[in-house]
Structure 1
Amino acid sequence: MKQKSFSALSNVMNQELWHTLLPLLHEEVLDNKEMLIREGEIADKIVWIRAGVLRSYFLLEDGQERTYCITFDESMMTAMTSFISKQPSKENIQSIGKTELYVLYKADVDKLCENNIVWTIFFKQLLEEQFMELEEKLFDIQRLEAKERYLKLLQHYPQYIQRIPGIYLASFLNITPRHLSRIRKEAHL
């Protein structure tokens, strides 16, 4: 679950590139359960989570929410398919607790890439890392039992796991809240 940190971004760029990007970044704070992107909207921004947690979810036919991605601080997040294709998002992205973000708009990304091939390479690398993280999450869902996925999250993000509402965490692990309660009890014995 290696995630790209915002502070690490400045380490991979030379100073000139960093100073080009910095004025384009906007700080934003989301309160608990505030929406970053809603289903049907076109994702026109990409964010780096400075501090906090975002969850991606979609609605099932019966109206239930299914959380499929939880993203923690110092990582990149957007409705990637919508961001790339400029088509309406099929997902919702919502904060879990107060979440501080650095926001970069797609129009600015496009301008940067048009003016300098280095930016195209840079954003390509970020997108590749995002793809690999999502693929790892998908493989974990397919290969690991719910308890193993929970323990992996607990190992990497112990400061957040207890703060994420059980209903979101259970949905992410694809189990019932009752099953999550049993796993938590076993894990903390």
Structure 2
Amino acid sequence: MFKKNQLLEYLKQYNLFTDSEINEFISLATISTIKKGDFFIKQDEICTTLSFVNFGIFRSFYYSNNDEEITYCFTFPNTLLVAYSSFITQNKSEENLQALTDSEIISISKKELENLAKSNNKWLNFLKIIAEKEYVELEKWIFNHQKSNAQKRYVDLINNYPQFVQQIPLHYIASYLGITQRHLSRIRASI
């Protein structure tokens, strides 16, 4: 049996499931490690699993029209990892999810999750809640990038994830903020 305490606590926070329902979910899940630099999913692949990050940091990025990598999201421990649009539609992913550190994830297949949802409406409700959270996060990201300057977004990042920011290469943080690495250096010097 793998380290399940973090996943157990994550699922309990929704106040939906009994311990036996959570244990059933865990019995269907698999644990895997992803080495720094390796991918959870690459563009043009189909995302067939929903995963929970036990430890590690991931970045989500896509390629611009100029083939430049644009980092738009970081995923930290105790959160879900999924190429959500691809997972829902089962179409090819537009994004890449890459490990920035050695990582460990717990995954359940879309098929197993759908079977759980068919047999127990609590899992269907869980999937609805996850979809709503993904939408809210996307909206928050859009508003944050349109309303806040890069310095405020950087300060928010270091305030919300101080133990992880030092592990992210600066060029990925600069890309996430939509600025050059030189501009990021000036921001860091001014704080």
TM-score by length of 1: 0.92
Partner of 2:172: 168
Provide the C-alpha distance between the structure 2 equivalents of 1:142 and 1:75, rounded to a whole number of angstroms.
Answer: 25
Tell whether 2:65 aligns with 1:75. Answer: no
Q: SS at 1:97's partner residue?
A: coil
One-letter amino acid matched to 1:85: T
Q: C-alpha separation between the residues in 1 aligned to 2:118 and 2:181?
A: 48
Aligned to 2:25: 21
How do 1:80-119 residues align onto structure 2 when only pairs under 5 Å count? 80-119=84-123
Give the aligned residue type for 1:117: N
Does 2:139 align with 1:135?
Answer: yes
One-letter amino acid of the structure 2 residue matched with residue 162 of structure 1: Q
* 2:184 aligned residue (180, 184, 187): 180
Question: How many Å separate the matches in 2 of 1:87 and 1:108?
Answer: 18
Cα deviation, residue 29, structure 1? 1.2
Return the letter of the residue paired with 1:75. T
**What is the aligned-residue identity percentage?**
32
How many corresponding residue pairs?
Answer: 183
2:173, 2:88 → 1: CA distance?
28
CA RMSD of aligned residues (A): 1.3
Quote how far apart the aligned CAs of 1:51 are. Answer: 1.2
Letter in 2 for 1:180: L
Please give the alpha-carbon distance, in whole angstroms, between the structure 1 residues aligned to 2:72 and 2:125: 28
Unaligned segments of structure 2, at least 5 residues = 1-5
Structure 1: 5+ residue runs without aligned partners? none
Indicate conservation of the 8 Å contact 1:48/1:102, yes or no.
yes
Q: TM-score, normalised by structure 2?
A: 0.91
SS in 1 for 2:57: strand
CA contact (8 A) 1:76 1:130 kept: no
Q: Name whichever of 25-34 and 9-18 sits farther off.
A: 9-18
Deviation at 1:178, TM superposition (A): 0.6
Give the aligned residue type for 2:34.
L
Alignment-mate amino acid for residue 167 of structure 1: H
Q: CA deviation at 1:40?
A: 0.4
CA distance in 1 between partners of 2:142 and 2:56 (Å): 22
Instruction: Give the C-alpha shift of residue 81 in structure 1.
Output: 0.5
